Every structure is written in C-alpha cells, then in structure tokens.
Amino acid sequence: MLIGALYGRSVDKRDGEIPLYSVPIDEEDTINYYGGILKIVQPIGGSMAFGFDLTAQRINTTSKDNTEGESEETSDTNVEGMLAFYPVAQFGIGATLEIQRGDTIGSEGNTYGIAAIFFPMPNVGIMFSYNRFKPANDVDDKNYKILESNSFDVSVRARF
C-alpha cells in the first residue's frame, strides 16, 4: 500500500494587448491544488495482481484582472480511480474514471478511460491512456463551448 500527498502552485501572468482590438490586458491566475493518493496492489497468484489507485484533489484558482481591478475565485474537486490487472509484473491493463465537480465553467463532468502500463525496468514504467471527457452539462454560449473531448496521454510511473 502507498499513501501520498499532493500539493502544487502555479502563477500564470498575461499582459500585453489583444491584437485585433488593441485592448490592453493585465491578468494573473494563481492556482493552488492539494490532495492525496492511495495505491493498493493485491497479488492473486504467480506474478498476477490487481491494482487500485485513488487520487483526490482540490483546486483553488484566483483570477485577477488588474486592468479592470476585478478578482474571481473558483474551486474544483477531482476524484480519479483506476482498477488495473497485471497478468505479469511487467505489464498491466486498466480502466479509469475521473469525477470532476466545481465552479469553473465546463469543468464538471466525468472522464472515462483505458490504460496500458509497461515496466521496461523493475521500478520505472510507462503508461499509455486514452480518455473521453463527458461534460455534466453542455455549455454553449458566445464565450464558451464545452463539449465531449478525447485525449491520449503518456506518463512515466515509478514502482517502489
């Protein structure tokens, strides 16, 4: 069993001018996120095993428009789980589900996915995943258009 903590912070500053309209912009987003990780691997005989990963995180964003002197705060919560089957220690396949809820327009919905994990070295793995985001509500107005989306991800993983 592995238990871990997450914390991150990023600051995104944008200043300049909107090209077509010559409108000055001076904006800043500060994003803080924190959460936890739980990973359990249960051997089921030979080199086969089942794995379960659970990640929960809270994302707080403060957006400031220094040109207008306005500020907006949003909070989002993401919970992601993956159930994997490892027929051998070096390879696994799994299914993922991520539930996203919050204040950010278009962020609410569920992401479903499949994954393949390959460990070319005993402690280092590469995960390939295909995900499909289905928004809780379609947002379609003049400023936002959030519909279903697909993504393909590659990540490096460590095994302890």
**pTM given for the model:** 0.76
The pLDDT profile of the chain, 160 residues, written as one tens digit per residue, is 888 999 999 998 888 776 677 777 788 889 999 999 999 999 998 899 999 999 999 999 998 887 778 888 989 999 999 999 999 989 999 999 999 998 876 778 899 999 999 999 988 999 999 999 888 876 665 556 667 889 999 999 887 7
Tokens of 91: 């390879």
pLDDT score recorded for residue 108: 84
Element (H, E) at 3: strand 2-18
pLDDT score recorded for residue 24: 76
User: CA-to-CA distance for 32 and 141, rounded, in angstroms?
Assistant: 28
Alpha-carbon Rg for the chain in angstroms: 20
User: CA-to-CA distance for 135 and 106, rounded, in angstroms?
Assistant: 7
Domain ranges (residues) in the chain = 2-158
pLDDT score recorded for residue 146: 65
User: CA-to-CA distance for 54 and 88, rounded, in angstroms?
Assistant: 22
